[in-house]
Amino acid sequence: MYINGEWSRADNDAGLDVFNPATGEKIGSVANGDQKDAARAIEAAARAFKSWSALTAYQRSEYLYDAYRIMMERKEDLARVMTLEQGKPLKAARNEVRYGADFLLWYAEEAKRVYGDTIPAPRPDQRFIVLKQPVGVVGAITPWNYPVSMVTRKVAPALAAGCTIVLKPAEDTPLCAVEVFKVLHDAGIPGGVANLVTARDPGPIGDEFISNPLVHKLAFTGSTEVGKLLARGAAEHLKRISLELGGHAPFIVFDDADPRRAATGAMLVKFLNTGQACISPNRIFVQRRVIDDFVAEAKARVEKMRAGNGLEAGVSIGPLVGPAAMEKVERQVADALELGATLVSGGRRLTADGLDRGFFYAPTVLSDVSEQMQIYREETFGPVAAIIPFDTEEEVLEMANDTHYGLASYLYTRDISRAMRVFEKLRFGIVGINDINPTAAAAPFGGMKESGLGREGGREGIAEYLETKLGGFSI
């Protein structure tokens, strides 16, 4: 672990082994921390807060610039660690490292743009001044599916704002977090400002974040179920919280769009990270007049995809994270087929050529999916594209919004009026219009409804780590 600027073992001296999901081989180990370690890290962060928050924005910015430079110098090594530990193809891992570094760069700049206000007062002898000041110590928890960028997406704005942080990474991908914290250490960030507690069991760490009065904000990316637990705990102690939770993204293709171009985009984003992304399309709605062309192109695209170890050339589909993920995908596909869906491609676990050592599922396309099926309601988090026909704009908007999730959504159309109407009516925090990658460090990322609270990225991202203070002066 990394606490108060030093690498250390867990208080109980326990270890946590890390395995390659593509091969099942052990690739390393980290400290298996507990609640005592979290408390120790929080105390270090609280001590460091006074001096870190007193630095100028320009001084904090320089540390983040240095971290960005170092991360880019280590891009290839970081990507290889990610592929070994998380399983995604090396090309995708390189893209994620760049995306993760972008947050360090953006918030190195945004640190200098935390502005206050002066407000006209109703009395001639009164003046109002508004300051933005850091919240304090942050407790952060990050997921396994994007094990580098989700770390920097929390650490960078917190440090830019003047907060200190304790981060608990996913138990499946702690090595990536360790490498990121090596970057922060080598950038010279003072001891206690950024702390890392690795652990197999996230429960005690989360409990310490909630109950410890030195923690003033929680930041979490993960499942809606766990997010609700943290939100209840944070509410009891009136702590600030930001949550980036699950999704059930609709992907809408209108009949004025090019169905082949739309299918190309849909398959690219659907099978990104083997479908293990919160913005992955779960329900692909295609207007009936173009659905046959769309399905044919989707089938052709998917059948060219190669599953395997992400370090091998030409691989575009990596493993699922584990047996529970495999069971969920198999259950959803079996349920859909039993209730009348058509299997266009895939639909099976892959075991040939050594793939049985990992959890590989064939990239799958289902058509004729209906609302009675589990896959229509549940987030899949796997490589299955579920295609649903529709007839009218009103009908598809009702179907798309018929979910308690509200993170990402997509639409393809050539009609600018329709694009604007649908953009405004979709109840999702992110809408890609003829765009399958509506994300960037400079853009706000987050959801509505049960997909979360708050935003990460952009100027909204640093606002999550700031308090508003009013000064009223009588002169």
Please list the active-site residues: 244, 278
Q: Coil, strand or helix: which one is 252?
A: strand
**For residue 297, what are its two tokens?**
């192109």
What's the Cα-to-Cα distance from 285 to each of 38, 220, 370, 395, rounded to whole Å? 45, 30, 11, 10
Nearest to 68 by CA among 186, 196, 178: 186
Which residues are CB-contacts of 66 (< 8 A; sequence separation ≥ 6)? 187, 188
List the strands of the sheet with 215-221, edge to edge: 6-7, 2-3, 194-196, 164-168, 137-141, 215-221, 240-244, 452-453
Contact (Cβ atoms closer than 8 angstroms) between residue 93 and residue 80: yes
Which residues are CB-contacts of 93 (< 8 A; sequence separation ≥ 6)? 78, 79, 80, 82, 83, 86, 310
**For residue 53, what are its two tokens?**
């928050």
Which residues are CB-contacts of 182 (< 8 A; sequence separation ≥ 6)? none
Contact (Cβ atoms closer than 8 angstroms) between residue 194 and residue 155: yes
